[in-house]
Amino acid sequence: MAELHVELVAADRKVWSGEASLVVARTSSGDIGVMPGHQPLLGVLESGPVTIRTTGESGDGTVVAAVHGGFISFADNQLSLLAEIAELTDEIDVQRAERALERAKSQADAYAEKRADVRLRAVTAVR
């Protein structure tokens, strides 16, 4: 089966890389699914979960990451997801994100609220 190579990088580290058969991400004009052989693409990502269907060496499964803004670029079967902050769901501390969400709500901090919300949505997406 055809596969594409995915690099998920945050500003200060490489978060995940491997082979995948499908990547679903949310751009500013809607959700987009990228499969092997897609046309070269460069898009702006919205904050939200990114779903990666892994195959090949990475094993069949699903990797979900919370991405806070960033870009998606695809060319030559190479897909790069660039984000200032990106976390895999298993790195997210649910309780902490919930606490952060409460705190952000009580302090009316829209930015922090969105951040915590994205994390929680990513965790629920994987379940």
Partner 1 sequence: MGAQLRVYKRRIKSVTATKKITRAMEMIAASRIVKAQRRVAASEPYATELTRAVTAVAQGSGVQHWLTTEVERPTRAAVLLITSDRGLAGGYNSNAIKAADQLTNRLIGEGKEVVNYIVGSKGVAYYRFRERAVKQSWTGFTDEPSYADAKAVAAPLIEAIKADTGAKDGVDELHIVYTEFVSMMTQTPVDNRMLPLTFTKTAAESAEVIEGAIKRGGPEILPLYDFEPSAEDVLDALLPRYVESRIYNALLQAAASKHAATRRAMKSATDNAEDLIKSLTRLANAARQADITQEISEIVGGASALADANAGSDR
CB atoms within 10 A of CB 91: 11
| CA atoms within 13 Å, Cβ hemisphere of 98 | 5
Characterize 19-35 residue by residue with b for buried, 16 or more Cβ atoms within 10 angstroms of its Cβ, and e for exposed.
bbbbbbbbbeeeebebb
Segment interacting with partner 1, rule: CB under 8 A, options 52-60, 65-73, 87-95, 109-117:
65-73
Question: In the set 33, 62, 75, 93, which binds partner 1 (CB under 8 A)?
Answer: 75
Site pattern 35..64 for partner 1 (x: CB under 8 A): ----xxxxxx--------------------
In the complex, minimum distance from the CB of residue 124 to partner 1, in angstroms, rounded to a whole number: 26
Assign 63 to helix, strand or coil.
strand
Separation of alpha carbons 66 and 20, rounded Å: 17
Question: In the set 22, 80, 88, 112, which binds partner 1 (CB under 8 A)?
Answer: 80
Residues that bind partner 1 (CB under 8 A): 7, 9-14, 27-29, 32, 39-44, 70-73, 75-76, 80, 82, 84
